[in-house]
Structure 1
C-alpha cells in the first residue's frame, strides 16, 4: 500500500514522513480556500532539494488557471501535480503537453454518488484520482471521512489508480483500506498532535496502512 503524507511545511515534517517510509510527500501551494501548512513554491523547492531518491514530491494546489498550474510545478520542482479544484478535463492535456514528465492526480470530492460520474469524466486525462472530502470552506485537509461505500465503487470501476484521502488517521486507515481497496492512501491532519505533524502518529499511520491487507 502506497502512502502519501500531505501538508509538508518544514524540514521536521519532511523527516517524519521519510522516517515512516513514505512513497510521496505533498506540498500545499497556491491556496484559494481555507488551508493549513501551505508554503510558497520557492519554499517547497528548497525542501525538495533535501528529499532523498524514490520519494515523489507532489504539488497540491487550489489553483485553476492552466498557466498558473504550469508555473507552480516549474517553480516548486515537483514531479506530480495534485489538482484539488475544478478544472476542465481537457486542460490537463495542455499541462501534460507543457510538462511531459509530470504525473497528474485529480481530486474528486465524494459528497454523494455523483462523484462516480465525476471520476469517470477525468479518467482519460489524469494519471490517478484522489478521493477527498470537502466542506463549504475547505476543499481538502478537512479531517472528515466521507462515504467509503461510494469510494469503493469508484475504485472497483476505475481504469486508473485511485488514492483514498479525507479524514484518515492511524485509528481508521486499516478499516478504510480493507473496505475501499485503493491504490494508495493520503493523510494530512490525521497524523498531527498539538497542531504539528507527530512522529509517532506518522509512523503508526504508515504501519497500519502497509499491514492492512496482510491478513487477506
Structure 2
C-alpha cells in the first residue's frame, strides 16, 4: 500500500487547486490564528477539493464550539489537534463523520496517558511558537519505536522534503508523511515542483 501523503499549510485557493491536480491523499489548513499560515475556516470553505482528498483542519487546544464552527464552515473531514490536555473531552456523536488526529512529538506520545481514542497520530518536531512548518526533523529513532508498538496509524512530519522523505519512509516506516515548509517557495506560497517531487519520492518507496 502506498504511503499516505498530506500536504499541509495551504494558504490560497490557487495553491490548493494546483496541489489537488497532483493527487495527495490529504490537504491541511491551519486553524490557529497565531500561526503565520492561518486561514479562516470560512475562506477555506469556499475552496473545492476533488473527491478522495481529505480536508484536514489543524487546531491548537480547541474547544468544541471552535471545532463545530470550523468543521461546518471549512468542510473538514479530519480534525488534527496539537497540544491536547489529557482531560480533553470530545463528543464523538456530535462530530460523527470526522476523524480526529493527535499531533504530538515522539516523546510526548511515549509518555501520554490520554484515554481519548484518536484515529491517527502525527509525530512532529516541537516549536513553542509554531504549529508544524518548523523545518526541523523529529526524533526518527523514537518514532520508529512508537510505530512498532502503537496500534493506531502514525504519520511522520517535521523537516521532510523530497530529498529525505524516501529515506524517512524506508527507515521509520510510517503509515503516512506530512509536509508544509518543505514544499514552500516562500512563507504561505507552495512550490509546485517541490510538491510534485515530494509526492513522487514518497510513493516511490
The normalised TM-score by structure 1 is: 0.87
The answer to whether the aligner puts 1:191 opposite 2:191 as a matched pair is no
The answer to whether the aligner puts 1:144 opposite 2:136 as a matched pair is yes
Shift in Å at residue 97 of structure 1?
2.0
Hey, what does 1:104 align to over in structure 2? 100
Whether the aligned pair in 1 keeps the contact of 2:132 and 2:180 (CA below 8 Å) is: no
Tell me the secondary structure at the aligned position of residue 149 of structure 1.
helix
The normalised TM-score by structure 2 is: 0.91
Unaligned ranges ≥5, structure 1: none
Unaligned ranges ≥5, structure 2: none
Task: Tell me how large the CA RMSD over aligned residues is.
Answer: 1.7
Whether the aligned pair in 1 keeps the contact of 2:86 and 2:115 (CA below 8 Å) is: no
What number of residue pairs does the alignment pair up?
Answer: 202
Q: 1:72 to 1:189 in 2, by over 3 A?
A: same
Aligned equivalents of 1:143, 1:27: Cα separation in 2? 17
Over residues 14-47 of structure 1, what are the superposed CA-to-partner deviations in whole Å (9 max), with x where a residue is unaligned? Answer: 1332122201010111334xx2321001001001
Shift in Å at residue 134 of structure 1?
1.4
Whether the aligned pair in 2 keeps the contact of 1:2 and 1:184 (CA below 8 Å) is: yes
Structure with greater helix percent: 1
After superposing on structure 2, the runs of 4+ consecutive aligned residues of structure 1 that deviate more than 3 Å are: 87-90, 121-124
The one of 184, 187, 206 aligned to 2:199:
206
